[in-house]
Structure 1
Amino acid sequence: MHDLNADLNAGLRPVSRDTWWVLAVRGLLAVIFGVIALAWPGITLLALVYVFAAYAIVNGLFTIAGAFREVNKGSRGWMIFSGIVGVIVGIIVATWPAITAIVLLWMIGAWFVVTGLLEIIAAVNARRRIDGDWGLMLAGVLSVVFGVVLVIWPAAGALSLAWLIGVLAVILGLSLFYLAFRVRKMPA
């Protein structure tokens, strides 16, 4: 029988010296996504939908792949769940781009909340291996806050949404870059 408490206690441990590059790729994708949203704030919601869908799918696939690393054995279930949620949200958004803006914002908001909560769990458990690290915790908190804002105030205009998403994605990406290079310098 699967022990859910063991998974919760193990948490997400995305910190392994040989997988630092996965965090860096996730950070790069987040920064690219954020820069696109900031550079073209007047971009149509349809284009933003496709950019977000691609980001969610790629991020989800990397999370699933990371679950099968030996270092993540104890938290494999949570990582697979997080990755599957990202892939499913990305596919839904790409498949039905004409869904209403409110539903889209709720889906994006829910995705940010789930991802952020899982990153917070990972950060709490990563503290044991990386002293004084705040990168993943900051990324998780920002994701949760942004997701809640999108769920509570979905009527925000597409222009405001593009700026909010852009700023969050850049900060999230930079936080993941910081964490990636901290992990890279960890002792083996």
Structure 2
Amino acid sequence: MSLEGTIVETPLHRLASHAWQAIAGVGAVSIIVGLIALIWPGPTTVVIGVLFGVFLLLSGLVGLFVGLAAPMPGFVRAASLLVSALSVVLGLLCFRSETHSVALLGLWIGIGWIMNSMTMLALGLSTKGQDRGWIIVSSVIGILAGIVLVASPISSLATLVWIAGVFLLVTGIVEIIRAMQLRRRARSL
């Protein structure tokens, strides 16, 4: 019995071949939360806080998973793990109290988006893959959205929800495109 032509699937290969599903899942959640934010602009700050808390928590957990599993330069891995851990913490803080102000939530989200987007921008600039352009575009949009949330006093829930909803929709679409490109590459391994 010859082993010639047999591909041995390592745990890392199995992980890489399924990472696209996690990225697509985050993209789908991002789109759903973005649509909810735009369609249902918040009868209460609590609902909005919980929705964004869920998004931050899930994206942080997936970011930790990808940061540990995906091949990337050391500085990008460290930044990705730091940003993902902070996203988890911020997500959990969103569940802490019903009296969090919209401005504080905007600050948390804005800082998280800036840090996450800067990490993704570093990744986009350090890679040469097909999805490099998508990573760079979504990163720049994320940095700009984060700056708007941090720099301007968010006095109305509608403004925060609109900015966040648009960003989440764009990010979700980009993440699903990235996931499909990663799926294609994983199948060709």
Both proteins in one fold, TM over 0.5: yes
Deviations 1:79-127 (A, max 9, x none): 221210100111112113312222221111111111111111111123x
Find the residue that maps to 2:47 and give its secondary structure.
helix
CA contact (8 A) 2:49 2:94 kept: yes
Q: Which has the larger radius of gyration?
A: 2
Measured in 1, the distance between the counterparts of 2:37 and 2:174 equals 18
2:53 match: 53
The Cα shift of 1:18 comes to: 4.1
More off after superposition, 61-70 vs 108-117: 61-70
Cα distance in structure 2, aligned partners of 1:152 and 1:76: 28
* Whole-Å separation in 1 of the counterparts to 2:157 and 2:181: 36
Determine the structure 2 residue equivalent to 1:122. 123
Q: 1: CA distance between counterparts of 2:101 and 2:71?
A: 41
1:17 deviation in Å? 4.9
- Match of residue 176 from structure 1: 175
Please give the secondary structure, in 2, of the residue aligned with 1:43.
coil
Q: Kindly, what percent of the aligned residue pairs are identical? A: 20
Q: CA deviation at 1:54?
A: 0.9
Q: TM-score, normalised by structure 2?
A: 0.82
Change over 3 Å in CA distance of 1:58–1:37 after alignment to 2:
same
- The answer for unaligned runs of 5 or more in structure 2 is 1-15
Amino acid at match of 1:102: A
CA distance in 1, matches of 2:178, 2:41: 28
Report if aligned partners of 1:50, 1:94 keep a CA contact under 8 Å in 2. Answer: yes
- Structure 1 residue runs of 4+, over 4 Å off? none
Whole-angstrom distance in 1 between the partners of 2:184 and 2:155: 41
* Deviation of the 1:149 alpha carbon: 0.3
Distance 2:31 2:50 in 1: 16
1:28 correspondence with 2:25: no
CA displacement, residues 57-96 of structure 1 (integer Å, 9 cap, x when unaligned): 1111111112221624744422221210100111112113
Q: State the partner residue of 1:9.
A: none
Report the TM-score, using the length of structure 1 for normalisation.
Answer: 0.83
Report the AA paired with residue 34 of structure 1. G
Q: Is the 8 A contact 2:131 2:178 kept in 1?
A: no
